Amino acid sequence: MPAAGHVPVLRDAFVEALCHRPDGRYVDATFGRGGHARALLARLGAAGRLLALDRDPEAVAEGRRLVAEDGRFSIRHAPFGELDAVLADEGWNEVDGVGFDLGVSSPQLDEAGRGFSFGREGPLDMRMDPTRGPSLADRLARVDERTLARVLRDHGDERYAARIARAILRARREGRMKTTRDLENACFHAVPPHARYGRTHPATRTFQALRIWVNDEMGQLEAGLNAAMDHLAPGGRLVVISFHSGEDRRVRDLIEARVHPCTCPPEFPVCVCGRTPSMRWLQKKPLRPSEAECAANPRARTARMRVAERLA
Ligand SMILES: C[S@@+](CC[C@H](N)C(=O)[O-])C[C@H]1O[C@@H](n2cnc3c(N)ncnc32)[C@H](O)[C@@H]1O
């Protein structure tokens, strides 16, 4: 049975890649409902330790129940962009593995009140941590049209970004932008008629882009992955599951910068920049879920997993 409504994606591959020492110290940077964490604890020995993070208070509440069941487990309510400070606070200078299962959990998407989904009317919120930072409504109240169009293009690859941004801000000025249904309607009417009834709903990319913007997901990713790689012990593993191509590209580039850090021109016979590799790829070509997993769990369809190891 999935842990409280979230089916963990690529669970066995994730645990297999991450856990190379059963008595090691591990971090699950995205606890969610604990599907990966529980599978990892099942692999760890009595001396193994798992520290989890999540920025969502509801995920952390679920994690506290697991703390009561298993003395090897602990959880912190923090964004993984603050991983460096969390590890310092725990006195964990080196860890044997850090796993990230990015994006939102099924309970977050399914609960209309969080404002993540179209098709379910809810407030314009979209914060993974509703106790911190501006909501989507707060941001839309201040943003200008050019910035909004850039957000839709950069984080959603939305080809009708300019038209949708204009429609959202017009609706806001006219007092017609209060709920996720209003946002969905604005997207639907902004795109040309032939684009309204395709395979994906015309609001899909806008909702994704706005969620990434509200939660500063790209800033979080950069800070979180860099902190993870800084704290890996030799042989320690970094495992990352991402769910859209922009995110996966960023993961690849952040790891690649440590696999091939040398900046010398290719015609130089020897390296003079002095930057030496600190990571190596274990899974460079992303691992995808099987057809059977995607059929059983449609949210797995876009998942890609990359794995790298800290060099000595
Ligand atoms: C896909 S779910 C993880 C599911 C989890 N692996 C499981 O098996 O139940 C992603 C989780 O990561 C959390 N999350 C996303 N970005 C985060 C960040 N920057 N810092 C901490 N948690 C984050 C979300 O709140 C959500 O609970």
Which tens digits make up the pLDDT trace of 15-33? Answer: 999 999 999 999 999 999 9
CA distance 249 to 296: 26
As a whole number, the mean pLDDT across the chain is 95
Is 75's C-beta closer than 6 angstroms to any atom of ligand 1? no
Mean pLDDT to the nearest integer, 298-306: 95
Nearest CA to ligand 1 atom 15: 103
Any domain includes 124: no
89: number of Cβ within 10 Å? 11
Question: Is 229's C-beta closer than 6 angstroms to any atom of ligand 1?
Answer: no
Q: How far apart are CA 93 and CA 85, in angstroms?
A: 10
Q: What number is the average pLDDT over the span 252-263?
A: 97
Assigned domain for 4 exists: no
Q: Is the CB of 100 under 6 A from ligand 1?
A: no
Q: What is the mean pLDDT of residues 299-303?
A: 94
Provide mean pLDDT across the span 202-227: 97
Report the alpha-carbon distance of residue 47 to residue 34 in Å, rounded. 20
Beta strands in 16-170 (DSSP E): 25-28, 49-54, 73-77, 95-101
**How remote is the CA of residue 52 from the centroid of ligand 1, in Å?**
10
Tokens of 143: 């943003």
Residue 246 lies in a domain: yes
Q: Strand order of the sheet with strand 304-310?
A: 73-77, 49-54, 25-28, 95-101, 232-242, 304-310, 279-287
232 and 94 both lie in a single domain? yes
Question: Does the C-beta of 99 come closer than 6 Å to ligand 1?
Answer: no
pLDDT computed for residue 2 by the predictor: 44
Full domain range(s) for residue 238: 11-107+217-310
CA distances to 95, 132, 154, 166 from 26, rounded to whole Å, are 6, 27, 33, 46
CA of 104 to the centre of ligand 1 (A): 6
In the three-class reduction of DSSP (H, G, I as helix; E, B as strand; rest coil), residue 12 is classed as helix
The answer to whether 152 and 209 have CB atoms below 8 angstroms apart is yes
**Domain assignment present for 113:** no
167 within some domain:
yes
Same domain flag for 266 and 194? no
User: Measured from the CB, is residue 143 less than 6 Å from ligand 1?
Assistant: no
Q: Which of 159, 192, 214 is the last residue of a domain?
A: 214
Going by their DSSP bridges, the two strands 279-287 and 304-310 should be labelled as: antiparallel
Residue ending a domain, choose from 190, 214, 238: 214
| Same domain as 233, residue 96 | yes
d(CA 23, CA 47): 5
Rounded to the nearest whole angstrom, what is the distance from the C-alpha of residue 261 to the centroid of ligand 1?
29
Number of Cβ atoms within 10 Å of the Cβ of 16: 14
1 has a pLDDT exceeding 60? no
CATH label of the domain that carries residue 207: 1.10.150.170
**Ligand 1 near 227 CB (within 6 A):** no
User: Can you give the pTM of this predicted structure?
Assistant: 0.95
